[in-house]
Amino acid sequence: MAKYKSTGELLALIGGIVGLLLGILDILGFGWFNYGFLGALGWIYGIIQIIVSLIILATCGKINIPALKLEKSGIIILILGIVLAIFGGTLGGVITIIGGILMLL
């Protein structure tokens, strides 16, 4: 049981880092929604991805931002992964979702 939880925490950490990088890329203009009038949408999605990724990293305990820290449980990591996947951070979101599922086992 402890092996699944530690593996899930590691996957959530990797998913948060990947989501953070994808959010930065969206803001810089290398994302999916940066064409024509959808350029503003890329900025908004990038900012949301960065915020959700920082919440994931703070919840995992790897960065110390007390305002963003939530209770460390599989359900919260799973929900944050779903939110990250919805807002364009698909790879980071999927990795975080798998980590949340492993934390629940």
Q: What is the pLDDT of residues 64-98, one digit of tens each?
A: 888 888 888 889 999 999 999 998 878 999 999 99
Instruction: For residues 105 and 58, give the distance between their C-alpha atoms in angstroms, rounded to a whole number.
Output: 22
Domain of residue 56 covers 2-104
The pLDDT of residue 98: 95
Question: Has residue 35 got a pLDDT over 90?
Answer: no
Question: Has residue 24 got a pLDDT over 60?
Answer: yes
Into how many domains does the chain fold? 1
Contacts for 93 with CB less than 8 Å, ≥ 6 apart: 15, 19, 81, 82, 83, 84, 85, 86
Collapse the DSSP code of 84 into the 3-class scheme (helix H, G, I; strand E, B; otherwise coil) and give the result: helix
Question: Has residue 39 got a pLDDT over 70?
Answer: no
